[in-house]
Chain A
């Protein structure tokens, strides 16, 4: 187990380093000057130059890369060009929205998808299977921003049960904050659940065709016991793989949902930072997301070993 872990960690660190170079280089190639962006069309040339100097943009490229990466290693993420507050503070504030949202959505999609997938697999080919899979097909097909707007019109505009958007902050209390996350979490979770349910069903069906399932049934075990104890555990590997991918998606890929609900999350931070050429914020958040994806993948790999003892010595 330990060599496995060390190897994975090493790969992770190299990936991070490569990603930092790619991210930095890519943003340097993108046209647009952060200082000019800030001062607009009426700015005089000397004002733009003064601001470039202030932002440290006149330093050579390699120096800027080294000071950025050096700061990163010592926990200093730098200061946002536009907001002029520490990047670490921005990221922490935004993560306080994106992380709970991602976790709630993941939880919702799991508790919906796995039972549906199980049920559909157990009733394969019957009417209930067709209905469940038809519903999940619909869930995959519906764009989540459209579904989000539908939720807003029903629960916020018509019923006035939940806010139409915005985030009051955790300082306003746990319930008001959670309330603001309910609709976005549902909008994110349902399409994910639809995918997950289909994966669960097909993974289970593969397993149910295996010889040992027939053996288990032949020795007289009840259908449900076979399904839960023998089949589900062996079907979990593809399910966990999808879950890992979905978590990474939920953390970073929610720009559209964050826009519809005007939530101050990480996705919007990156989007806004890109349009304003707030390079240091983009670089830092992208690195953080890369790190998260690496950690989540590591956890998924570890979960394989927990699920399947044969993989523990691999």
Chain B
């Protein structure tokens, strides 16, 4: 090589590198604690599935945004019949699935019919229970007729479990998800990471990132090290709150505390004596010191709740004062219930730290009023079987993470064993009401009934601590729905 060529080569190299330095980064490695079992959000309950594919790979008719409100997605607009039973969706045209096939009204009909079919394995089949018929009027119009008006129908269609899939690829979405979203699935190194890349043919606003990798890091100490070393640049739902002060002090990172839809409760088996006696449940409510649990088990992260509702919801009312922490009153109620000599119960704890650490504190708080808890740690699969399905428990701690799920207290045969016709009536009315002001009022009534009845021990709303690179923007701070929406994420520089 002669001198001139060398110089030229060096010049080109210099140009190339400086151009790269000027353009902002377009890649991102994001840490997640749990690996999804598969990637089909219409066939599994795991939050980890939605945390990869929701809004990124798959889209529904509507979608939920960061504030928790419903936005149009594949449906450009819709009209609702005066009786509230017929929804006519106008779809976007020119939309393609990642495999190149065209999206139209037939795909919507296929997806909704598949989710509510007899052999459906949709984890939220209840979302579709009110649908009577789905009709593809023309390629860009879908008419959904409901059995009865449903106030939350548009919200329900925004769930990850209601995304639109294509008949050609529905069967293989578990391994190779094919959606209409702004990112395409690229690769899944099982046990390690999932990579998605920009979809160049996306119908809507193109995303700023070219590539995003979801890296699975289950261990809190490892997560801290991965963030500190820069191996991952974002970790929403960071699993090591103990490292908060260290990360906050470091100008490289931005640390935020967001809210979730996780109502963390001390579930009580309402059917089983002595818990069928409201006095005993009230005694438990008085015995619980919420702030002590939040400080002791959650490193101070979490908002106390007095009923089964998320504090960031506009319809939330603060009922934490219904049964304030009062040991004397609790003891009195135990006496009135004839249990002044104390009782022995079991407290079954699933694996998350909120349950295992929170359980120790609750057990000591209940001991003060004569309730002796035998702590039984259980695995998730075991919990679902013993506690949730067989209802073989006295007390347990769990976070109900589904959004807007106050209606679970009206479900027949649900594991708390709560049965109150007055409450059921409010929920029934709520289901057929779409007027926002009226819904808000009904939500208030429902919260109040649950709080007064001390159905379960309402503890706190699970918070989430997020940490990401200070130069990164557009990630969600709050999680009104389980998702890591990357559609607006970009690097500043």
Please list the residues of chain A having a beta carbon within 8 angstroms of any beta carbon in chain B: 30-34, 36-44, 46-47, 50-51, 53-54, 82-85, 90, 93-94, 149, 152-153, 156-157, 160, 163-167, 169, 259-265, 268-269, 272, 275-278
Closest B residue by C-beta to A162: B229
Known contacts being A152-B222, A165-B222, A260-B222, is A32 close to B385, with CB within 8 Å?
yes
A32 & B384 in contact (Cβ 8 Å cutoff): yes
Residues of A with C-beta under 8 A to B174? 83-84
Tell me whether B429 is interfacial, beta carbon within 8 Å: no
A82 & B37 in contact (Cβ 8 Å cutoff): yes
Q: For the side of the interface on B, what is the size category?
A: 35 or more
* A43 CB contact (under 8 Å) in B37, B125, B216: B125
User: Closest CB-CB distance, B51 to chain A, in whole Å?
Assistant: 14
Which of B187-195, B337-345, B450-458 lies at the interface? Answer: B187-195
A157 & B123 in contact (Cβ 8 Å cutoff): no
User: Closest CB-CB distance, A266 to chain B, in whole Å?
Assistant: 10
Known contacts being A84-B175, A157-B229, A260-B219, is A31 close to B123, with CB within 8 Å?
no
User: Closest CB-CB distance, B298 to chain A, in whole Å?
Assistant: 21
Known contacts being A42-B126, A47-B121, is A268 close to B191, with CB within 8 Å?
yes
A36 & B385 in contact (Cβ 8 Å cutoff): yes
B123 & A39 in contact (Cβ 8 Å cutoff): yes
- Residue among B124, B226, B229 with the most chain A CB within 10 A? B229
Known contacts being A32-B385, A36-B385, A268-B191, is A164 close to B37, with CB within 8 Å?
no
* B125 CB contact (under 8 Å) in A44, A169, A264: A44
Closest B residue by C-beta to A153: B225
List residues of B (345-380) whose CB comes within 8 Å of A's CBs. Answer: 351, 379-380
Residues of A with C-beta under 8 A to B69? none
Please list the residues of chain B having a beta carbon within 8 angstroms of any beta carbon in chain A: 35, 37-38, 43-46, 118-126, 174-175, 189-193, 215-219, 221-222, 225-226, 228-231, 351, 379-382, 384-386, 388-389, 400, 402, 405
B388 & A41 in contact (Cβ 8 Å cutoff): yes
Known contacts being A262-B222, A264-B192, is A272 close to B381, with CB within 8 Å?
no
Apart from A36-B385, A152-B225, what 7 extra A-B contacts exist at CB < 8 Å? A38-B44, A42-B126, A50-B119, A83-B175, A152-B222, A263-B192, A275-B379
B381 & A39 in contact (Cβ 8 Å cutoff): no
Give Cα A276–Cα B44 distance, bound, in whole angstroms.
Answer: 12
Give Cα A32–Cα B228 distance, bound, in whole angstroms.
Answer: 38
Give Cα A282–Cα B216 distance, bound, in whole angstroms.
Answer: 20
Known contacts being A36-B389, A42-B126, A90-B190, is A165 close to B226, with CB within 8 Å?
yes
Residues of A with C-beta under 8 A to B192? 166-167, 169, 262-264
Residues of B with C-beta under 8 A to A32? 379-382, 384-385
Give Cα A275–Cα B38 distance, bound, in whole angstroms.
Answer: 15
Give Cα A152–Cα B46 distance, bound, in whole angstroms.
Answer: 30
- Residue among A32, A36, A82, A259 with the most chain B CB within 10 A? A32
* A37 CB contact (under 8 Å) in B122, B175, B384: B384
Residues of B with C-beta under 8 A to A160? 229-230
A50 & B120 in contact (Cβ 8 Å cutoff): yes
* B384 CB contact (under 8 Å) in A41, A50, A260: A41
Residues of B with C-beta under 8 A to A46? 118, 125
Give Cα A268–Cα B190 distance, bound, in whole angstroms.
Answer: 11
Residues of B with C-beta under 8 A to A157? 225, 228-229
Give Cα A281–Cα B379 distance, bound, in whole angstroms.
Answer: 18
B385 & A156 in contact (Cβ 8 Å cutoff): no
User: Closest CB-CB distance, A29 to chain B, in whole Å?
Assistant: 12
* A165 CB contact (under 8 Å) in B46, B126, B231: B231
Known contacts being A40-B123, A50-B118, A50-B121, is A84 close to B385, with CB within 8 Å?
no
Give Cα A51–Cα B38 distance, bound, in whole angstroms.
Answer: 14
User: Closest CB-CB distance, A159 to chain B, in whole Å?
Assistant: 10
Residues of A with C-beta under 8 A to B384? 32-33, 36-37, 40-41
Give Cα A265–Cα B192 distance, bound, in whole angstroms.
Answer: 9
B217 & A165 in contact (Cβ 8 Å cutoff): yes
B379 & A262 in contact (Cβ 8 Å cutoff): no
A-B contact pairs, 11 of them (CB 8 A): A31-B382, A39-B45, A39-B123, A44-B126, A82-B37, A84-B38, A153-B225, A163-B231, A169-B189, A277-B381, A278-B37
Residues of B with C-beta under 8 A to A272? 35, 191
Closest A residue by C-beta to B213: A166
User: Closest CB-CB distance, A203 to chain B, in whole Å?
Assistant: 37
Closest B residue by C-beta to A40: B45
A47 & B120 in contact (Cβ 8 Å cutoff): yes
User: Closest CB-CB distance, A278 to chain B, in whole Å?
Assistant: 8
Residues of A with C-beta under 8 A to B38? 82-84
Residues of A with C-beta under 8 A to B216? 262
Give Cα A32–Cα B351 distance, bound, in whole angstroms.
Answer: 14
Residues of A with C-beta under 8 A to B388? 36, 41
Give Cα A156–Cα B217 distance, bound, in whole angstroms.
Answer: 16
* A166 CB contact (under 8 Å) in B122, B231, B379: B231
User: Closest CB-CB distance, A114 to chain B, in whole Å?
Assistant: 32
